[in-house]
Amino acid sequence: MIDVRPFGDLGRFDNDWLAARYHFSFAGYHDPARDGIGPLLVWNDDTIEPGRGFDRHGHRDMEIITYVRSGAISHEDHLGNRGRTEAGDVQVMSAGQGIQHAEFNMEAEQALIFQIWITPSEKNLTPRWEQRRFPKAERDGQLVPLASGRAGDESALPIHQDAAVLGATLLAGQSVEHRLQPGRTAYLVPALGQLTVNGREVNARDGAVITDEDTIQIKAVEDSEVLLADLP
């Protein structure tokens, strides 16, 4: 079963520096039919204006994965971590027992990011932050683990959950396959382009909930960039 959630139907928040679209209930947006999938609670599609961002604030007991679609995002936290994550790359913040951080777009162009929140398998863990480069050329025609707590995904940024976020870039006509183990669910979002997923059309920034499918066949109708979360 594949349930496509069009981008235009997502929750939304707009002010003078942030255009946010919510795949699931978040902040002032609540839809009881969209309260997350298993440990995946948040998938936000944020456009941040130059020189603006999220002032220092706190989180706890959450794995927060940031995928930069365009531009760059700069991070700083109370642990002394500082970093700049560019388009196509990923940062993971394990909030654990508590972390205070800020995220800003220090560039001259808009920053477009996905924020993905996954609940951890344990609480009160030691907080940490890490970033890693994932060149798009190395994802050409294949799904590469970007953040994962599953065995065998050592090249991915670690998270504290039996889940994985994978990414692929596909040229028009290319396809990639993902096996979904029994009892698991997937959430798929094209960052760019247009796809078919087991024959269902999924456009850029739509979300697709995938359940009761042994094999996920992803085919690019046009040049595309796709993220897929494999969830317990």
Per-residue pLDDT tens over the stretch 170-190: 999 999 999 999 999 999 999
Give the pLDDT confidence score for residue 96 in this predicted structure: 98
Give the pLDDT confidence score for residue 188 in this predicted structure: 98
117 and 144 share one domain: no
Strand partners for 5:
207
- Given pLDDT bands bounded at 50, 70 and 90, which one contains residue 201? very high
112 and 179 share one domain: no
79 and 189 share one domain: no
Which one, of 50, 185, 69, lies nearest residue 109 by Cα?
Answer: 50
- Average pLDDT on 99-105 reads 98
Give the pLDDT confidence of 73-82 residue by residue, as tens digits: 999 999 999 9
103 and 216 share one domain: no
155 and 121 share one domain: no
Give the pLDDT confidence score for residue 104 in this predicted structure: 98
Range of the domain at 25: 10-133
CATH of residue 52's domain is: 2.60.120.10
The secondary structure of residue 122, as a DSSP letter, is S
Give the pLDDT confidence score for residue 211 in this predicted structure: 97
End-to-end CA distance of the chain: 16
- Given pLDDT bands bounded at 50, 70 and 90, which one contains residue 212? very high
35 and 58 share one domain: yes
Q: Does pTM surpass 0.95?
A: yes
Phi-psi region of 96 (alpha: psi -120 to 50; beta: other; left: phi over 0): left
Residue type present at position 156? A
- Average pLDDT on 18-31 reads 97
Distance CA 33, CA 22 (A): 13
210 and 196 share one domain: yes
Give the pLDDT confidence score for residue 127 in this predicted structure: 98
Give the pLDDT confidence score for residue 173 in this predicted structure: 98
Task: Identify whether 1 is part of a domain.
Answer: no
Residue type present at position 209? V
142 and 219 share one domain: yes
Distance CA 35, CA 205 (A): 18
Strand partners for 210:
2, 186
142 and 188 share one domain: yes
- Given pLDDT bands bounded at 50, 70 and 90, which one contains residue 4? very high
Contact 114, 90 (CB under 8 A): no
- Given pLDDT bands bounded at 50, 70 and 90, which one contains residue 34? very high
Name the domain count of the chain. Answer: 2
Distance CA 114, CA 79 (A): 23
Task: Identify whether 22 is part of a domain.
Answer: yes
Task: Identify whether 39 is part of a domain.
Answer: yes
Task: Identify whether 70 is part of a domain.
Answer: yes
Contact 217, 175 (CB under 8 A): yes
Q: What is the mean pLDDT of the chain?
A: 97
- Indicate the residue among 133, 154, 177 that finishes a domain: 133
